[in-house]
Structure 1
């Protein structure tokens, strides 16, 4: 063995052939002077076949013409670095087939002159695993969209059935109760519709949801149209569906109550809906400058189904409810989002 190769062996040591990655040594002429067993099997060569070959034999045909220029730059490097950072690299096997690789290059000065020690990692299994994950996520995304779509359609059917029932009933109180139930169903349906139309099926864009919900409520309470202005502030608030549904129903109840009771008898004014999200902390505030809530009215034991639902959904969110009875009438709900795994 030549002195130069002895020095190279001293540098590499026995670890060269024991490393669990493919390793080759390329001299200044671009010839492979050393290759471990894993490099030979990775590229489909028998023992010793890589020695003396041009390193371009391991480069796909379409990149081969430019590779010598890159290789000359490798030998002038002073520090180890990844090859082709930011680009997908491919290796070429003896049979001409290609496979994805990751390559690290390390310039080494030896008795035979500067050489480049290359470490090659076969990414075939990793790429296949990544593709399987992408396919699984795509299937999950499609399934979630289909589920949300079907739930939304079913809720719309319930909404239509309530509408048919309301048209057959003469008692104004029963009609009012049926219309309130319609609004609740519409609120849930809108949440699923917002999810279905969103690029993110895990969270509801509440600004979009509120805009559509308010259109529905103003249509349901036409008597307040032109007299009551509704202002919304919910930019950049996105809630998981487990929190979005009860939160949406709370807002539906509070705005409905304000339109029915706060602005009765031709009273005019405004309703303000504000949502703020600070990390996992969410604050929902619904205010109006309509009629005050009487002090003798026990909100915790109210006969109103709407207020009972507000208390129920607040407990479901594990939140707190604060009420200000006048100037303005204000309901503030604070809750924390669940930790996600």
Structure 2
């Protein structure tokens, strides 16, 4: 009986010594308190972090390491943890602060672990100084804010500069006596507007990584309607957009908008000669990882022998080049009217031409 008791105490002492060594050489400050909140064990990292010698900490209330302004509520939280002990981080959702021997405060991250002992449940707390982490985070947030402000200014300035170019083209067109020249300048103005609109939407939405393609095409259609007011109510420009938003990055939104600009412009110019009335439709849909964009009209259709490869119109010559930038496929159909269909991957591809 006596021998068995001696063996049991020896084993317990050996385990206690091992535990103390683990705590002592832990890389973060470790503090153990009893149910009353008194400190019963600390390690070397605790001395270094708080600036107290070990002898000044043992037997003292844990609140001596808490800023004075927070000690009252800390007692409440400590008692709540002892009543229902479980391993967890301390103060989730709250900023935690500790207090050094010199009275200075610093932000901390604390993990709590209940330990069963013969004296009852004790709490082992690991304390990590997160001052440098917060400083780095604040620096990163500041850099991100500066980048956001810079991007906002860039898109605003680009939009304004493109609007100036558009205005200059419009001014030049009003002073041109040649109808053909006025038409060329008007088409160039629409192209500039299509590009400016992408920067306008980025500036308005404060999202500089992507554009809602449906919203972009809807706004672009309104601009084109304004450019061809002489058609009166004869020509209707209808938009069929999905309920779900489909986003494009700026590099793909611009060629996509230019394609629609060229195809709708072509329809306004050639699909309804004389006083003929009709409808132009812009259709947007997505399926199987691809976006399909269709521009169709119910006008006179293509002339006999029409071949896309042989067109002399600058606008239609631009379309295949823009399709290549999107990494897409382009198809032309007829009957009745003209139908242009573009399909391209909904996600950007590294193989897309820049």
TM above 0.5, yes or no, is yes
Gaps of 5+ in 2: 1-8
Q: CA deviation at 1:181?
A: 0.3
Task: Tell me what 2:4 maps to.
Answer: none
Indicate if the aligned counterparts of 1:8 and 1:111 stay in contact, CA closer than 8 A. no
Task: Tell me what 1:16 maps to.
Answer: 23
**Aligned with residue 249 of structure 2, among 223, 236, 240:** 240
Task: Tell me what 1:103 maps to.
Answer: 110
**Are residues 140 and 277 of structure 1, via their aligned partners in 2, closer, same or farther at CA, if it must alter by over 3 Å?**
farther
**Are residues 45 and 289 of structure 1, via their aligned partners in 2, closer, same or farther at CA, if it must alter by over 3 Å?**
farther
**Does the residue aligned with 2:107 lie in a helix, a strand or coil?**
strand
Q: CA deviation at 1:29?
A: 1.1
Task: Tell me what 2:122 maps to.
Answer: 115
Normalising by structure 2, report the TM-score.
0.88
Q: CA deviation at 1:179?
A: 0.5
Task: Tell me what 1:249 maps to.
Answer: 258
1:154 is aligned to 2:161: yes
Indicate if the aligned counterparts of 1:148 and 1:193 stay in contact, CA closer than 8 A. yes
**Aligned with residue 181 of structure 1, among 185, 188, 193:** 188
CA distance in 1, matches of 2:281, 2:139: 48
In the TM superposition, 1:1-341 aligns within 5 A as 6=13, 9-10=16-17, 12-232=19-239, 233=241, 235-277=244-286, 281-327=290-336, 329-336=338-345, 337-338=347-348
**Deviations 1:127-165 (CA, angstroms, capped at 9, x unpaired):** 111111111111111111111112112212211221222
How well do the aligned residues superpose, as a CA RMSD in angstroms?
2.3
**Does the residue aligned with 1:334 lie in a helix, a strand or coil?**
strand
**Does the residue aligned with 1:49 lie in a helix, a strand or coil?**
helix
CA distance in 1, matches of 2:282, 2:89: 53
CA distance in 2, matches of 1:263, 1:62: 79
Indicate if the aligned counterparts of 2:225 and 2:237 stay in contact, CA closer than 8 A. no
Indicate if the aligned counterparts of 1:74 and 1:116 stay in contact, CA closer than 8 A. no
CA distance in 1, matches of 2:42, 2:309: 79
Indicate if the aligned counterparts of 1:218 and 1:225 stay in contact, CA closer than 8 A. no
CA distance in 1, matches of 2:320, 2:159: 25
**Are residues 197 and 135 of structure 1, via their aligned partners in 2, closer, same or farther at CA, if it must alter by over 3 Å?**
same
**Are residues 13 and 339 of structure 1, via their aligned partners in 2, closer, same or farther at CA, if it must alter by over 3 Å?**
farther
CA distance in 2, matches of 1:157, 1:52: 76
> Which of 103-112 and 48-57 deviates more?
48-57
CA distance in 1, matches of 2:152, 2:175: 35
Indicate if the aligned counterparts of 2:34 and 2:122 stay in contact, CA closer than 8 A. yes
**Deviations 1:149-201 (CA, angstroms, capped at 9, x unpaired):** 12112212211221222122222111111110000011111111111111211
Q: CA deviation at 1:325?
A: 1.8
**Are residues 181 and 118 of structure 1, via their aligned partners in 2, closer, same or farther at CA, if it must alter by over 3 Å?**
same
CA distance in 2, matches of 1:339, 1:115: 58
How many residue pairs end up in the alignment? 338
Q: CA deviation at 1:300?
A: 2.2
Computing the radius of gyration from Cα coordinates, the structure with the larger value is 2
CA distance in 1, matches of 2:26, 2:245: 50
**Are residues 278 and 202 of structure 1, via their aligned partners in 2, closer, same or farther at CA, if it must alter by over 3 Å?**
farther
**Are residues 98 and 177 of structure 1, via their aligned partners in 2, closer, same or farther at CA, if it must alter by over 3 Å?**
same
**Are residues 19 and 85 of structure 1, via their aligned partners in 2, closer, same or farther at CA, if it must alter by over 3 Å?**
same
**Does the residue aligned with 2:102 lie in a helix, a strand or coil?**
coil
Indicate if the aligned counterparts of 2:51 and 2:100 stay in contact, CA closer than 8 A. yes
Gaps of 5+ in 1: none
Indicate if the aligned counterparts of 1:90 and 1:98 stay in contact, CA closer than 8 A. yes
CA distance in 1, matches of 2:21, 2:325: 65
Q: CA deviation at 1:279?
A: 9.1
